[in-house]
Structure 1
Amino acid sequence: MSAASESTSTILVSCKQTRFHIESPNYRELDIEGLSIAVTSGDKQSAKGKWKAKADGVEILSNAKLRLKAGQRYALVGRNGSGKSTLLRAIAEKLIPGVPEKTRVAILQQTNDADGSVGTAASDGAPSGNNAAPQGSRVLEYVVDKATSKNELEQEINILAEGISNENAFSALRSLRRVRHQRLQKQCFVLDKKARLRSGARGAQARKALTEFEKVVAESEALVGQADDDISPDTLQAETQEAADLLAELQLQVEPSKLANIESQAKKILSGLGFSDAYMEKPVSSLSGGWLMRTELAATLLQESDILILDEPTNFLDLLGIIWLQRYLQSLEDTPEPPTMILVSHDRDFINLATDLLIIKDKAITYFHGDLVTYEESQAERKVYLTKMKEAQDRQKAHIQETIARNIRQGKKKDDDNKLRQAKSRQKKLDDRWGLEVGSRGGRFKLNRDLVGYHLTARAEIDVPADERPVVINLPEPPDLRFPGALISLEGASFRYPAEQSAGKQSSRSSPAAPIVLQDLNLSVHIGDRIGVVGLNGAGKTTLIRLLVGETRPSSGTATMHPRLRLGYYSQQAVDTLRSLGRSEPQLTALGLLGREAEASGQDDDDSSGSSSQSREGRLRGLLASFGLAGRVASDVPLGKLSGGQLVRCELARLLYRRPHCLVLDEVTTHLDYETVAALRDALMGWEGAVVLVSHDRWFMRGVVEGIIDDPIGGSDDEHGNGESAEDSEMTRRREIYRLRGGKLVRLQNGVQDFEDAMGKRVKKLLSD
């Protein structure tokens, strides 16, 4: 058993191991039986020092099987809170006893910390300080250093070179011992980590190894401080020569040609993720959260790894970066030893690059060879098949039970033993041999193959999988406008930043005028319209959105709104804004925030009943609950303690309480889990109001704007998803997707597909360079 301790939680891990357990020589594979993982609140141990996972914590996995084949790409799928991040962390930190110590694991983690930080880790056990960017480190330098430990090697080279070049005869020996001692200290850190993260027999073994190694470190420290007079001439000569040999070895590792190849690969990765040459030279400390995430992703991709774990890598990437990453990961299968990948993403189009699925459900891991759509279709078809089979058998069972009862009555009435024996035989069939007629492979059910082990009956029961409670989002319908007209209208609108602001951005005092960001835009949004805007990062999409919602005014042209318009605007900075609000008001909850704004806006005046504060709280609680913020999460948990996904739900509830006519959504899916993204997509497809959507999620854009749905059971009411005919839908909805490029809006005839094709051509060129 192993354990990982944090300030607020502990991960407990156990799995089956025999006394003859031999680790696989293929470090890209895992085959672990009987895996159990639990998360406890704190370091709760029994009096005997053994972990009580089931009693004190939440069980994530119970007697599961973790099987990874070398070189495969796995998509880890499961509901929010099912334990995906816990499992990934247990693999990366090697808390699972069956993960070989020599396995190189590179992981990009998305954390839910208050600062929204992004983290990467490698399995070498280096202190966390090594993952931080050195003061003033440039992006390219940081990525190369993190992937190759170049900074550490150069420090050792400098120490040895300085010692060897010094005229003092003992300087080379001193530098060698210093380098040795630093290496031993790092090894001691790894052993200390293992001792703290493990319990039981393995923990005792790790603590014993740490104690013994601490003696070695103490001896090394004594050698570092040894006086010159106590060093023998033979030792001086031997260690001086050893220092020279080690220096030559290290210099080979940082050979310019080798580092040049690594640096060239780093530049290709950074370019694919959207970095220009100028951005590669920027200090890491000056990057925003989105660019910092891309830097960490580049460093993770550059590392040599046996298992590569990417948790939501598409966050903050534009479509060019997403398609590049998708094809780059696919291209790794052509390398001599491609890493085994585990991917987590809410972007369905991106996750389709996976060859297999790992589904966490009911504390078990289910495996499926294929993509997510195929899995959902097969599950839906199997459920329909099993339901029909069970209904047919239930009818047959009712008929047999009726026959048994009739035979018993007739047998007793006429003293007919044959009737009674017949009734007894049929009853035995119902008791012992009733259930599945078809095995898991589609053939006839066989007891010794399909129901292994000891059982009271000779057949397995027909188990129709129960439907998981779906995430359902109910959008309030907008009130009447009273008179028709465009909700939002741009006519000949152009925008450029003020001259002084542009000069600050360009660091050029002589700039005569700022460049035009948006030029001669004409766009109108009516009730029921679905408008999508796509484009690369920096194309001006957010500036366009701010013009639409009235946060900025056009430099020329006009921007008008319907006088009775209620607008709901979700900003990219919504999560950061709520986090800042939570830090400034530590006791403020989601329910308190919505209640305060509802009271200030007088929104309850819309109710004919004249609302009381109690009924208002009930409506607010119902709205928050529909977004997954129910009960005490809404009323007791402060905003500062909510995760990124919960803050997105809070902001959406905040917008929808006003019953808007138009929703303007700028990258609303970034922090949401897949189930909530799917629920929001379904809700927006049938909503009566207007939607203006900016998103890099192709699947989400196709559903909300283009009205394209994919039903797992192979059918739908219509291609627009509302149960209305295509002709009626087109009469009431305008569905248009625009690409923003060079400050101008261009309507895409084939929607998202046109933009995806254009980005695909650019990615092909980037990968071929």
Structure 2
Amino acid sequence: MLQIQNLVFDAWGRRFFDGASVNLPKDAKVGLVGRNGVGKSTLFKLIFGQLVPGSGEISLPKAARIGSVDQEHPATPVPLLDTVLAADVERASLLARLEAASPEEMGDIYSRLIEIDADRAPSRAAEILAGLGFTNADLTRPMAEFSGGWRMRVALAAALFAEPDMLMLDEPTNYLDLEGALWLEARLKKYPHTVMVISHDRELLNNSVDHILHLKDGKLELYPGGYDNFEHQLTEKLRLQESTRVKIEARRAHLQSFVDRFRAKASKATQAQSRLKMIAKLPPVAAVVEERVAPFLLPSPERPLPPPLLRLEEAAVGYGGAPILKKLNLRLDLDDRIGLLGVNGAGKSTFAKLVAGALDVETGKLHRSGRLQVGWFHQHQIEAMDPTDTPLEIIRRALPEETEAKRRSRLAQFGFSHDKVETKVGSLSGGERARLLLNLVAMEAPHLLILDEPTNHLDIDSRRALLDALNDYEGAVILITHDRSLMELVADRLWLAADGTITPFDGDMEDYARFVLDRARVAARAPTQVREEASPPPATPPAAAKPKAPTGPARRRAEAAEAALAKASETLAAIDKALLAPDLFSKDPQKAAELGRRREAAQAAVEAAELEWIDAQEAYEAVRA
């Protein structure tokens, strides 16, 4: 579908592509991945012709239609449904021609309308809009009544409805809630043509694409399968590369040793010259250099507070008019990891403000520990940052009593090199701004972290670093995110915001994903066919049903046990390999004896790890059942 040959592109003082080549299969679903700033969005602009390559060629089939979501849809007086229907340019043109067509032309126009299934277009558009969170009542509302975030969804709906031959999406889940992300994940999987999507959403890359296109060091390489498969292939490739490099360097050193010894001897000069030629022919193999990701610093509270951290009794909260949330009866303890679910507009951010102390309860009671410290991260903080500020100036205000050296040291711990600490915020990437704010809100070791969409600008490796930091953090967490993988691996309990309140959700993320997709299928029916909106799941299961226990802790224990077993097995294998050295026992009996003792300890560690893994796996399976 897409062919890129020897692409070279330089801009802004750096080289983005250096002889990059790739061929994308027709109708492939491709995830474009790479570290923040390597040039993924630049590649999109090159494909669209918005940038001109220095050399090389980018080619697509003739008459191929390319679609994307570049910006939010304009705030026009046109109704929502008509706006999306207009994205099918051919259908709109045929209908316009029909009004003034002669009788002879009408037959051809109607034939083409039937061929493109034009009659089903309104229901197809309504189905897409329902999946992205719009209600049947929204279909007739003018575009001017929707906020910017919702108009971004309209632009995405229009691109999906038009079904171009190649659909290109740049971080489409960043402006979707979890429910919209789950629906999009299923939709992209069955998209009838080629898709290329830039995403750091691991679940989407595992469940929706069949190829991963990796951009690194100006090169493009295509891997079959989802993201997990790509990671496995890349790890194996780097392992083989390093093994090959070691062998070639050993061969080079051996040949060079001969040359150094006998170059001066006339009788060996010919052989020395021959070996110099052999050295010159050895292929260069670059050493594998791991790209370091700075960890997130989320210090745990020094003095735990007695439970509960806070308790709500029949509480209601709002902004002066009708309450946004009411009948809140919830309790939060220091070891709670809460995943807050619900569509946009259901009150999740309002609840975060209430817990953070930015809103007071209007009725009911809120019991809060007097010593409770809260760290609150939300997207508006990133948007509100002064573009002329620098990380150093920001941390000066946050740490007025510290020395300049300690401030710079703290920024280095956050992952900011010396050339970044005085860079203007407007010149920092979204990921760098998010990293700075996440570390700042947690700097005082709060008892509770409220994270509202913390991963929007983070690449996959940074998301993993955040996951590791959250799992090491010993305070309470309330997490609002469309990143399903992060939600599954952090949250131990789920709360659902729906129908003007928040209640515990009985089930795990798989249950919630099924519920969301079932609700979208019901809402996608034509308005005349929908008898009632899908209701949220009951707060308590029916009497005959057995409530599901949260699987988060059991899953994490099983994963940790598996990793420990793998590490212990690797240690044992390394010792066994060392013991196989033919001259070990004759040349170094003391080392042989030490290796024997270490092997006994390693074998015991493997056996203990196996027992823990079996126990953890059985516990996890029991919880899932």
C-alpha contact (below 8 Å) 1:153/1:254 kept by paired residues: yes
1:108 corresponds to: 69
| CA-CA distance at 1:277 after TM superposition | 0.9
1:144/1:534 CA distance change after superposition, 3 Å: same
Cα distance, 1:349 vs structure 2: 0.3
Shift of 1:672: 2.7
Give the conservation status (yes or no) of the 8 Å contact 2:210–2:225: yes
Q: Indicate conservation of the 8 Å contact 1:59/1:363, yes or no.
A: yes
On the 8 A contact 2:67/2:164 being kept in 1, the answer is: yes
User: Does the alignment pair 1:460 with 2:401?
Assistant: no
Question: Residues 545, 315 of structure 1: CA spacing in aligned structure 2 closer, same or farther, 3 A cutoff?
Answer: same
Assess if the C-alpha contact under 8 Å between 2:296 and 2:465 holds in 1. Answer: no
The answer as to whether partners of 2:22 and 2:221 remain within 8 angstroms in 1 is no
Letter in 1 for 2:313: G
Equivalent positions of 1:605-624 (< 5 A) are 611-612=402-403, 614-615=404-405, 617-619=407-409, 621-622=411-412
Secondary structure of the equivalent of 1:146? coil
Alignment CA distance shift 1:620-1:268 (3 Å): same
Contact 2:5 2:58 in 1 (8 A): no
Distance 2:272 2:237 in 1: 29
Aligned CA distance change for structure 1 residues 349 and 648 (closer, same or farther; 3 Å): same
Question: Residue 36 and residue 539 in structure 1: after superposition, are their counterparts in 2 closer, same or farther (change >3 A)?
Answer: same
Task: Confirm whether residue 674 of structure 1 aligns to residue 495 of structure 2.
Answer: no
Structure with max Cα Rg: 1
User: 3-state DSSP class of the match of 2:367?
Assistant: strand
**After superposition, where does 1:408-447 map in structure 2 within 5 Å?**
420=268, 428=274, 431=276
Which residue of 2 is the match for residue 192 of structure 1?
none
Q: Is residue 697 of structure 1 aligned with residue 552 of structure 2?
A: no
Q: Distance in 2 between matches of 1:679 and 1:145?
A: 43
Q: Is the contact made by 1:383 and 1:464 (CA closer than 8 Å) also made in structure 2? A: no
Q: What secondary structure sits across from 1:573 in the alignment? A: helix
Q: 1:736 is matched with which residue?
A: 493
1:351 corresponds to which of 174, 180, 205: 205
- Secondary structure at 2:59 match in 1: coil
Corresponding residue for residue 143 of structure 1: 84
Structure 1 residue matching 2:392: 3-state secondary structure: helix
- When residues 615 and 38 of structure 1 are mapped into structure 2, their CA distance, relative to the original with a 3 A threshold, is closer
Compared CA separation, residues 620 and 754, structure 1 to 2 (3 A): same
Deviation at 1:475, TM superposition (A): 0.7
Summarize the Cα distance change of 1:389–1:322 in structure 2 as closer, same or farther, 3 Å threshold: same
C-alpha separation between the residues in 2 aligned to 1:389 and 1:643? 36
String of CA shifts for 1:629-675, please: whole Å, max 9, x gaps. Answer: x4555434255x55544442343243134343321101111233333
Provide the rounded CA distance (Å) in 1 between the counterparts of 2:454 and 2:245: 42
2:337 is matched with: 530
* CA shift for structure 1 position 106: 0.4
The CA distance in 2 between the partners of 1:132 and 1:556, in whole Å, is 40
- Structure 2: tracts of 5 or more residues without a match: 527-625
Q: Which amino acid aligns with 2:128?
A: I
| Pairwise CA distance, 1:63 | 1.7
Which of 135, 152, 172 in structure 2 is aligned with 1:313?
A: 172
Q: How far, CA to CA, are the matches of 2:22 and 2:243 in structure 1? A: 33
Counterpart Cα distance in 2 of 1:426 and 1:364: 38
CA RMSD in angstroms comes to: 3.8
Equivalent-residue separation in structure 2 for 1:598 and 1:487 (angstroms): 30
Residue pairs, 1:319-718, within 5 angstroms: 319-332=178-191, 338-352=192-206, 353-388=208-243, 390-391=245-246, 420=268, 428=274, 431=276, 456-457=280-281, 459-468=282-291, 470-478=292-300, 480-481=302-303, 484-486=305-307, 488-497=309-318, 501-502=321-322, 517-526=325-334, 529-578=336-385, 582=386, 587-599=388-400, 604=401, 611-612=402-403, 614-615=404-405, 617-619=407-409, 621-622=411-412, 626-628=414-416, 630-631=417-418, 633-639=420-426, 642-705=428-491
Q: 1:113-262, aligned counterparts within 5 Å?
A: 118=71, 132=74, 135-148=76-89, 259-262=118-121
Distance (Å, rounded) in 1 between the aligned partners of 2:253 and 2:420: 47
Match of 1:81, SS?
coil
Report the residue type matching 1:485 in the other structure: P
Change in Cα spacing, 1:31 to 1:61, as seen in structure 2 (3 Å) is: same
Q: Which residue of 1 aligns with 2:536?
A: none
Kept after mapping to 2: 8 A contact 1:492/1:558:
yes
- Is the alpha carbon distance of 1:101 and 1:574 closer, same or farther for their aligned partners in structure 2, counting shifts above 3 Å? farther
For 2:460, give the aligned amino acid. Answer: Y
Gaps of 5+ in 1: 1-28, 41-56, 110-117, 120-130, 162-241, 333-337, 435-455, 503-513, 605-610, 706-734
Partners of 1:617 and 1:343 in 2: CA distance? 39
Distance, in Å, in 2 between the alignment partners of 1:665 and 1:250 is 54
Please give the alpha-carbon distance, in whole angstroms, between the structure 2 residues aligned to 1:741 and 1:329.
27
AA in 2 matched with 1:87: L
2:175 aligned counterpart, secondary structure: coil
Cα separation, partners in 2 of 1:349 and 1:427, compared to 1, 3 Å: farther
Residue 357 of structure 1: CA displacement? 1.4
Q: Aligned-pair distance for 1:386?
A: 4.2
2: distance between equivalents of 1:77 and 1:256? 37
User: Given the alignment, which residue of 481, 504, 518 partners 1:746?
Assistant: 504
Query: What is the identity percentage for the equivalent residue pairs of Structure 1 and Structure 2?
Result: 27
Q: 1:302 to 1:566 in 2, by over 3 A?
A: same
1:142 deviates by 1.0
TM-score (norm 1): 0.60
Contact 2:467 2:486 in 1 (8 A): yes
Distance in structure 1 (CA, Å) of the matches to 2:522 and 2:136: 17
2:80, 2:143 within 8 Å by CA — same for their partners in 1?
A: yes
**Secondary structure, aligned partner of 1:297:** helix
In structure 2, how many angstroms separate the alpha carbons of the residues matched to 1:426 and 1:375? 45
For 2:48 and 2:250, the matched residues in 1 are separated by 52
Corresponding residue SS for 1:501: coil
Instruction: Give the Å deviation of 1:156.
Output: 7.3
Residue pair 1:591, 1:620 contacting (<8 A) in 2 also: no
> CA 1:315 to 1:280, structure 2 compared with 1: closer, same or farther past 3 Å?
farther
Shift of 1:391: 4.4
Aligned residues: 519
With over 3 angstroms needed to count, the CA separation of the structure-2 counterparts of 1:393 and 1:540, relative to structure 1, is: same
Name the CA distance, whole Å, in 1 between partners of 2:277 and 2:519. Answer: 64
2:151 equivalent to 1:292? yes
Partner of 2:589: none
Query: How many Å apart are 1:681 and its aligned residue?
Result: 1.9
Question: Which whole-Å CA distance do the structure 2 matches of 1:432 and 1:754 have between them?
Answer: 65
Matches of 2:213 and 2:453, distance apart in 1: 27
